[in-house]
Amino acid sequence: MAGPAWRRCLVALLAGGLACLSLPPFDVWPVLFVSYTILVWLLDGTVRARAGNWRRFGAGFAVGWCFAFGYFVPSLWWISEAFWLEPEKFAALIPFAVAGLPAYLSLYWGLAFGVAAILWIAGWPRILLLAGLIGAGEWFRGHLLTGFPWNLPGYGAGSLDGFSQTASLIGIYGVSVLVVVVAAAPAALCDAGKSVPGGLPRRLVFPALVVAGAVGLHVWGNMRVASYDAALAEGARNATVVRIIQPNISQKDKWDPTHASQIIDTYLRLSGMPFANPPAVPPIVVWPESALPRLIGEEDALRARIMASLPPASPLLTGGLHRITDDTGKASILNSLLAIPADGQIAARHDKVRLVPFGEFLPFQWLLEPLGLRQIVNLPPGFAAGSKDRVVRVDGMPAFAGFICYEAVFPRSRPYESRPEMLVNATNDAWFGTSGGPHQHLGHARFRAIEQGVPMIRAANTGISAMIDAAGRVKAMLALGTAGHLDVAMPAVLAATPYAAIGDIGFLALLVLIITTNIICIRMKKFCVQYVHEN
């Protein structure tokens, strides 16, 4: 840890690569204790080897950037799969996807570590300092330049159902801070291999308190889940039945006009399959993002055919492209989630608010388009973003909040105007084949259900389609790369969670607490040094 700078950067790179194993589909969360403990010790060595704030900042930045780069490259490589579908058009973007995007995302970690190096003090406070700065950096990563909050540290604890319930209190950003504190707690036993004053019993106090707190949260979470299970059992008989369709249509075939009839027939066949246990109330049928290669809002005959194929009197929730025209006559395409009651008319829709950078729109178009770059999905009228994220209410189905594909990655940091009864994530992960991307996407969606205390229906073209309960557990699913339908009862809704009521305020309060603690510790250290010097 006290060796040459390049060696610390190399170790940081490897530690970041190890940390990515905590994410789906691996879910090996114990690796976080190794990665983050090493990370704290690397900063210990960095601070010892550098004098002066700017030199410390630069050395800390290098360690943090390398750790994050090692974390993001292996956990986000699958993004390049989308560009391989048409390499003759998008080969120029493949290096950006594999290395450029991770390099940019790592800047937030580098800045957090650079500031940490300047404020670094010995003992357990440095762990809180680092966790708080990482949390702040991740929050900015999720908001600046449209935001990209994929694979936050908190998702590494997604396989721990009990501990994950903490997201209902402070959201995924708050969980990320706690994960770093818990995982780095062993570093309090020594500073880069050098024992801190006070003996072993004193050094064990902070790790013991952290472990006790983490166990307490895990136990509380399990109790929350157990009480929810009791409510599920009580309301199971009257639950709404949902039929989720997963057609498993390859991305190459999806927009090929020669396959349009076959695609429509596939959806109609799967939607009209007989029920093993016919529900007493007409079920809700849910299709994935941009399900059909047609503008079904403009084709009355097609909608009539679709509704005739569904179980009698069933409403349909489907992803679909929707054309709008502004006052000047200019047309745009919206990526929408359409609510269609049994009468076949579009009663309401959720329009995708967050478009995918380089997928549905080209950032810095004025600069990149002259270089020959464009977005992957390039419809002639151009994509438009929805104006508002809201709860949609339609007769015959529970009130719902829509999450179209990429939107499920973003926490709802502000309360909804009214309480949804279900979350609906319509997505098309066919872009990414059978890579880790769809598994990570499902893991992110689970936390949206925990944060809101509302079950989520997830309909994915090639998978993974699932019913997620209000505690974030997958109750039923269709495997990646398979075609089929999933008939499942809608789980009960929990009471509004603290996060649903106040959003990121709880996370910000946690950051204020950490910052205040470190300011007090720094001031006390300066006072003690001054007292010893004067006496």
* Cα 32 to Cα 101: distance, rounded to the nearest angstrom: 23
**Beta pairing partners, 378:** none
Give the separation between CA 247 and CA 287, rounded to whole angstroms: 9
Are 348 and 339 contacting, i.e. CB atoms less than 8 angstroms apart? yes
Spatial contact of 295 and 326, defined as CB atoms under 8 Å apart: no
Is residue 152 within 8 A of residue 176, CB to CB? The reply is yes
Q: How many Cβ atoms sit within 10 Å of the Cβ of residue 35?
A: 26
CB-neighbour burial class of residue 534 (10 A; exposed 0-12, middle 13-18, buried 19+): exposed
Q: Where are the alpha helices (DSSP H) in 20-124?
A: 31-49, 53-76, 87-90, 94-95, 101-119
Cα 113 to Cα 135: distance, rounded to the nearest angstrom: 11
Helix (H, G, I), strand (E, B) or coil at 330: coil
Do residues 313 and 322 make contact, with C-beta atoms less than 8 angstroms apart? no
Q: Which of 9, 138, 254, 352 is catalytic?
A: 352
DSSP secondary structure letter of residue 413: -
CA distance 46 to 59: 6
Cα separation, 76 vs 74, whole angstroms: 6
What is the number of H-type helices and E-type strands within the chain?
18, 15
Q: Residue 133, CB half-sphere, CA atoms under 13 Å: how many? A: 25
Cα atoms in the 13 Å half-sphere on the side-chain side of 56? 16
* Long-range contacts, stretch 50-53, CB < 8 angstroms, 24+ apart: 50/117, 53/118
> Over the Cα atoms of the chain, what is R_g?
25
- Catalytic residue at 421? no
Which one of 81, 138, 289, 407 is the catalytic residue?
Answer: 289
Residue 430 has phi, psi (to 5 degrees) of: -60, -25
Q: Residue 242 forms beta bridges with which residues?
A: 284, 488
Beta pairing partners, 457: 424, 467
Is 525 considered catalytic here?
Answer: no
Catalytic, out of 405, 421, 451, 521: 405
Specify the DSSP element, H or E, that contains 195: strand 194-195
Q: Tell me which DSSP letter residue 97 carries.
A: I
Burial 281-303 (b: 16+ CB within 10 A, else e): ebbbbbbbbbbbbeebbeeeebb
Residue pair 285/241 in contact by the 8 Å Cβ criterion: no
Q: Tokens 């992960």 sit at which residue?
A: 429
Q: Where is 349: in which H helix or E strand?
A: strand 348-351
| Rounded distance between C-alpha atoms, residue 163 and residue 214, angstroms | 7
Catalytic residue set: 289, 352, 405
